[in-house]
A and B are shown apart, each in its own frame.
Chain A
Amino acid sequence: MFVPPEFKVIIDQEKCIRCKACTIQCSFEALSFSDEEGQIIADNNKCVCCQRCMAMCPTKAISVIKNPIVYAPHPTWTEEKRRDIYIQAQTGSAILTGVGSTQSTIPYLFDHLLLDACQVTNPAIDAIREPMELRTYIGRKPRRLEFKSLNEDYELKTEIAPNLLMETPIMIAGMSYGAISLEAHKACAMAAKEQGTFFNSGEGGLHTDQYIYGDHIIVQVASGRFGVHMDYLNVAAAVEIKIGQGAKPGMGGHLPGEKITEPISQTRMIPVGTDALSPAPQHDIYSIEDLSQLIYAIKEATRYEKPVLVKISAVHNSAAIASGIVRGGADAVVIDGFRGSTGAAPKVAEDHIGIPIAAAIAAVDDRLCNEGIRDEASLIASGGIRCAGDIAKAIALGADAVAIGMSVLIAMGCRICKKCYTGRCPWGIATQRPELRKRLNIEIAAKRVSNLLAAWSLELKEILGANGMNSIESLRGNRERLRAVGLDQPTLDVLGVKPAGR
């Protein structure tokens, strides 16, 4: 059935020198050279608007535009809904997509929140000139401290469980080797090390080349248990049990066999070319008690030297679930909101399952505070964090830190063409094809990610200074520094934020 293409490639034949570079660059085979016509021709149906051809064309002869073809307008049957139906009527299958929800009608709550600033009565602090502290410790803290008194001197009596020291409250979210290339994986680890923070390995194991960055890596134990062995657990700074992710709550993962190359097979401990299936649940966790057992099994295996994090997707009952996780022994809870990204997820999950991260963080923080157990674990927010403003708002709502994934890939050069699951990433990020992987320069990618972390850290300091504070812990849960615009009263109540002007 005829489905109009989404994009249209326009080639300026006068500018084109017929070098055919674009035909090699386009990993989706949308461009080819026609000997008959003596010119480059485009198959618009194959174009995903990755911008690779535009970037690489030496004479800048190519432009890609959104196909202006008009679907007869209808507010219910949007272009996107109609396109999905045409495709599903053809395939009889779920629609797979990459990146994250394209749902635009559900409000992005961070965009409805505004931060405060000082005027007159409370001096703003110049973040460039004055000390501004972003250091954050992730992990369990005792509720109170006890000291031994020795004459006029004191000594700490209380033992503190291992914590992760982050020089900025931004970590890099779990992205597996397999979903992304080794080059992209390495760049993340290098950037995390440079900025004094952490990179989460994702569920695909850890390539031995990455062991040198172990002090800055959190390794994941997910339902597929790929690459989980003693060295993997011991080389890392912390271990995360992944229960779910924001892009596809309640659903598992599927890395197609063609992505399972020799080194990935080694790392994941599965045969070359077999599909890597992550079940929806972990098959040894069917209850909160089971989760607690796994938490302590991992703690035993790592001699109680490493914090154990538990990651869940933000769902309706997150507050109660998080409380159970903290009581189950987790040192940190990672909550991934409904706008979280992924390399591959059913579209129906991305667009329709879960709740926004802002609401989940506020609800979880409230719940843990009311139960008096907020300090027993750290809270990490992730899923659609796009800028320093989002980070400040997440922290003011109650998070200790945030994790960013998509932003990191964008920093490396991702253009959000949403085709990660095809393995054809033309920028060398979400692919295992050697000829495409070569396109990502590890050092440059690492530097760009490091720059992004540095830039957002600087902006966080500016926000703190504008609010007359010089330490990030004074922003944590400080909802008085937030006001909302255009939200209804129940949502304001959930967020614990007043409307602007009040």
Chain B
Amino acid sequence: MCGIVGILNELGEVISGKMVIQATNAMEYRYNGLGGGFAGYGIYPEHKEFYALHILFPDRERRNKVEEILLENVKIVHDEKIPIREGSPLSSKYIPWRYFIDPLNTSPENSDDAIIELVMHISSEVKDIAILSSGKNMGVFKATGYPREVADLFKIDEYNAYLWIGHGRYPTNTPGWWGGAHPFNILDWSVVHNGEISSYDTNRRFLQMWGYNCNLLTDTEVIAYVFDLLVRKHGLPLKLAAYAMAPPFWKQIDRLNEKEMKMIKAIRMVYGSALLNGPFSIVVGRSNVMIGMTDRIKLRPLIAAKKGVMSFLSSEESSIRSVCSDPDVIWSPKAGEPVVSTVGGK
């Protein structure tokens, strides 16, 4: 069991981290203290054109190693320790650091791939570190602990973002460690996940063919990679990518009109290995969009709500109501059907 939260302002106006903390804390019985985390989009307006790397280091030596690799490959525009609240019970474990980087010698259209390659390279070269995020104008903060402890450690209440994602963990199938907490991120994709991906190895094997190495010991990473592959690399519209991950049943497909049937049949035939099978609800963030989705028979909960320009997603209605007591509309999305909210309403 886990709890997931997503909050988005459609005008792109930033909101305080206090809201996501409260909505996440409202479901504390869903967590067991072995993982919590947040992702905020729009938190680094002063460095928004650079990739922000959030990295956890166990010691100075590992930091030096990573910096060596960085200096070989990219330009470090700015770097600093991620501020933490001294005296927090979690504070002594790792040194969290952030780097704002500019990929060198890479054309703009290849820079995303260059960053993925860099992240995969560092993760395999330097042991016992965790790269928490690598997107622009966004960052992931996570640790082993309850979400309130993680929020306290990283001072989430002092950040402002137009898109917030929160997660509390109750790990059962993979070890509880800082890097394994959610959100899981690659580039500007962040995923929080409640559930278990039984098709993990099938998905992993498929992603490997496209150059994604799954090495974080968590099934959630495959979700982020599948989104990145299908939407960014293959250019599938979000709606169609969702059909690949949680497709309609063949019996339903057989009843569609010719054009739709041809399209969804092709998606299932070609992207069958991208089908995420097993119980899950997820909230996925990207620079200007928030997606909520469940598996195709909805074995995990997901509630969506809207209030004016604010969109909410959560595992539980109580969590949404704790920060928005009178939503304009609140509903339970259908199994497999994505709920998409975008900045600018596009």
The residues of A with any CB-CB pair to B shorter than 8 Å are: 118, 120-123, 125, 130-131, 133, 135, 137, 141-147, 149, 154-156, 158, 160, 163, 369, 372, 374-375, 467-471, 473-481
Also in contact, A133 and B250, with CB within 8 A (given A125-B297, A477-B273): yes
User: Is A468 a contact partner of B234 (Cβ separation < 8 A)?
Assistant: no
List 24 A-B pairs, Cβ < 8 Å. A121-B196, A123-B279, A131-B249, A141-B269, A142-B270, A144-B234, A145-B234, A145-B271, A147-B263, A154-B263, A156-B262, A372-B209, A372-B210, A468-B198, A468-B277, A469-B198, A469-B278, A471-B272, A473-B275, A475-B202, A476-B273, A477-B205, A478-B201, A479-B201
Also in contact, A476 and B234, with CB within 8 A (given A121-B172, A468-B196): no
User: Is A133 a contact partner of B278 (Cβ separation < 8 A)?
Assistant: no
Q: Tell me how far the C-beta of B301 lies from the nearest C-beta in chain A, rounded to whole angstroms.
A: 13
Q: B266 in the interface, Cβ–Cβ < 8 Å?
A: yes
Considering the chains assembled together, what is the distance between the CA atoms of A282 and B29 in angstroms? 68
Q: B199 in the interface, Cβ–Cβ < 8 Å?
A: yes
Q: Tell me how far the C-beta of B176 lies from the nearest C-beta in chain A, rounded to whole angstroms.
A: 14
Q: B296 in the interface, Cβ–Cβ < 8 Å?
A: yes
The residue in B196, B198, B296 that gathers the most chain A C-beta atoms within 10 A of its C-beta is B198
User: Is B275 a contact partner of A478 (Cβ separation < 8 A)?
Assistant: no
The residues of B with any CB-CB pair to A shorter than 8 Å are: 172-173, 195-196, 198-202, 205-206, 208-210, 234-237, 239-240, 249-251, 259, 262-263, 266-273, 275, 277-279, 296-297, 299
Considering the chains assembled together, what is the distance between the CA atoms of A142 and B209 in angstroms? 14
5 closest Cβ pairs, A-B complex: A473-B272, A474-B277, A480-B201, A474-B199, A121-B172
User: Is A149 a contact partner of B237 (Cβ separation < 8 A)?
Assistant: yes
User: Is B269 a contact partner of A163 (Cβ separation < 8 A)?
Assistant: yes
Residues of chain B within 8 A (CB-CB) of A470 are: 277, 296-297
Residues of chain A within 8 A (CB-CB) of B237 are: 147, 149, 154
Q: Tell me how far the C-beta of A329 lies from the nearest C-beta in chain B, rounded to whole angstroms.
A: 19
User: Is B198 a contact partner of A474 (Cβ separation < 8 A)?
Assistant: yes
Considering the chains assembled together, what is the distance between the CA atoms of A48 and B343 in angstroms? 78
Tell me the number of A-to-B contacts counted with CB atoms below 8 Å.
111
Q: Tell me how far the C-beta of B294 lies from the nearest C-beta in chain A, rounded to whole angstroms.
A: 13
The residue in B173, B196, B235, B278 that gathers the most chain A C-beta atoms within 10 A of its C-beta is B278
Residues of chain B within 8 A (CB-CB) of A372 are: 209-210
Residues of chain B within 8 A (CB-CB) of A156 are: 262-263, 266
Residues of chain B within 8 A (CB-CB) of A467 are: 198
Residues of chain A within 8 A (CB-CB) of B196 are: 121-122, 468
Residues of chain A within 8 A (CB-CB) of B299 are: 123
Contact of A375 among B208, B259, B270 (CB under 8 A): B270
Considering the chains assembled together, what is the distance between the CA atoms of A225 and B93 in angstroms? 71
Residues of chain B within 8 A (CB-CB) of A131 are: 249, 251, 297
Contact of A122 among B198, B251, B273 (CB under 8 A): B198
Considering the chains assembled together, what is the distance between the CA atoms of A150 and B15 in angstroms? 36
Q: A467-B198, A477-B206 are in contact. List 10 more A-B contacts (CB 8 A).
A: A142-B270, A143-B270, A144-B270, A369-B205, A470-B277, A470-B297, A473-B275, A474-B202, A477-B273, A481-B201
The residue in B199, B234, B273 that gathers the most chain A C-beta atoms within 10 A of its C-beta is B199
User: Is A471 a contact partner of B275 (Cβ separation < 8 A)?
Assistant: yes
Q: Tell me how far the C-beta of A268 lies from the nearest C-beta in chain B, rounded to whole angstroms.
A: 36
Q: Tell me how far the C-beta of B211 lies from the nearest C-beta in chain A, rounded to whole angstroms.
A: 9
Also in contact, A374 and B279, with CB within 8 A (given A154-B263, A477-B202): no
Q: Tell me how far the C-beta of B259 lies from the nearest C-beta in chain A, rounded to whole angstroms.
A: 7
Residues of chain B within 8 A (CB-CB) of A118 are: 198
User: Is A473 a contact partner of B296 (Cβ separation < 8 A)?
Assistant: no
Q: Tell me how far the C-beta of B137 lies from the nearest C-beta in chain A, rounded to whole angstroms.
A: 27
User: Is A369 a contact partner of B271 (Cβ separation < 8 A)?
Assistant: no
User: Is B259 a contact partner of A155 (Cβ separation < 8 A)?
Assistant: yes
Residues of chain A within 8 A (CB-CB) of B199 are: 469, 474-475, 478
Considering the chains assembled together, what is the distance between the CA atoms of A147 and B267 in angstroms? 11
In the complex, what residue of chain B is closest to A133 when comparing beta carbons? B250
Considering the chains assembled together, what is the distance between the CA atoms of A137 and B265 in angstroms? 10
Q: Tell me how far the C-beta of B122 lies from the nearest C-beta in chain A, rounded to whole angstroms.
A: 23
Also in contact, A155 and B263, with CB within 8 A (given A122-B198, A476-B202): yes
Considering the chains assembled together, what is the distance between the CA atoms of A163 and B269 in angstroms? 10
In the complex, what residue of chain B is closest to A131 when comparing beta carbons? B249
Also in contact, A145 and B266, with CB within 8 A (given A155-B259, A468-B196): yes
